Structure 1
Amino acid sequence: MPTITKMYSMQEASQHNTKEDCWIVIDGKVYDVSSYMDEHPGGDDVILETTGKDATDEFEDAGHSEEAKELLRTFCIGELDTSSPAIPELEIFSKNEGTDYSQKLVALTKQYWAVPVAVACISVIVGFLYLRKK
């Protein structure tokens, strides 16, 4: 009797992206690794970085042993539904977050401060070089 395999979309798999509820996609299969997060030798951050996308390359690049691959098979909960879009839609607003736009603006400013500083420095240098040649 054939086994019925549960199919999951990438969007559905990407919604399970916390330490307590973590799914990853490797080689077209979906794995619920929530119970393994604390035991993972590379730490839970490594696994969390691969949620919401196909983590096959990252898994292979890490050089996992055959024992690790066997262990991974025990966490398989289904297969990736390739008929659905591969990239989930970007969620602009989280249900848990408030609408504090000033904090978001400050965070963006801290993250991208180098661009306006570089433009200002280049402008000053070009101005000095221009005046020096006159």
Structure 2
Amino acid sequence: MPIITKLYSMEEVAQHNSKEDCWIVIDGKVYEVSSYLDEHPGGDEVILQATGKDATDEFEDAGHSEEAREQLEAFCIGELDQTAPAIPEMKIVSKKKQSSGGIVPKLTNFTKQQSWVLPVGGVGISLVVVSLLYYRRK
């Protein structure tokens, strides 16, 4: 009789991302490791940084022993569903407050059509300074 393994999508795994409900994915298998956090020799913070994610690279980079790999199997709750779509990447949008006063915010908010103003202004100011210095010597 074949062993039936529960399949989880990466979206499902991502929802279990806290100290009380900590799931990780390693080599396509899903592990529920909440109860192991306090026992982890490297501390719980190492695991918590990878919770709700594929932690295969982090696990391999740490150079875990064969004993650690065997111990990990006790926490296996299923496998990652490779046919499920990956979680779409979120776009990070900054919602900075626009400053109402001062020249610096105004100078940094140029559009592409207005980007010529600063270089031309710099050249103009430089010409004025050079002209003043030239005529002052005469």
Give TM-score, length-normalised by structure 2.
0.65
Question: Deviation of residue 48 (structure 1)?
Answer: 1.5
Q: Separation in 1 of the partners of 2:20 and 2:57?
A: 24
Question: Deviation of residue 44 (structure 1)?
Answer: 1.4
Measured on the aligned residues, the alpha-carbon RMSD in Å equals 3.1
Q: Which amino acid aligns with 2:65?
A: S
Task: Report the structure number with the largest CA radius of gyration.
Answer: 2
**Cross-structure match for 2:54:** 54
**Cross-structure match for 2:11:** 11
Contact 2:24/2:51 (CA < 8 Å) preserved in 1?
Answer: yes
SS of the aligned residue for 2:31 comes to strand
Output aligned runs, 1:59-78, within 5 Å: 59-78=59-78
Output aligned runs, 1:1-134, within 5 Å: 1-87=1-87, 90=90, 131=126, 134=130
Question: Deviation of residue 88 (structure 1)?
Answer: 5.1
Q: Separation in 2 of the partners of 1:89 and 1:12?
A: 15
Is there any run of 5+ residues in structure 1 with no aligned partner, and where? 93-103, 109-115
Contact 1:53/1:87 (CA < 8 Å) preserved in 2?
Answer: no
Percent identical among aligned pairs is 72
| Residues 85-134 of structure 1 deviation map (CA, whole Å, 9 limit, x = unaligned) | 222564x9xxxxxxxxxxx968x9xxxxxxx8xx8xxx9xxx6xx74x83
Number of aligned residue pairs: give it: 107
Give TM-score, length-normalised by structure 1.
0.66
Is there any run of 5+ residues in structure 2 with no aligned partner, and where? 98-104, 109-117, 131-138
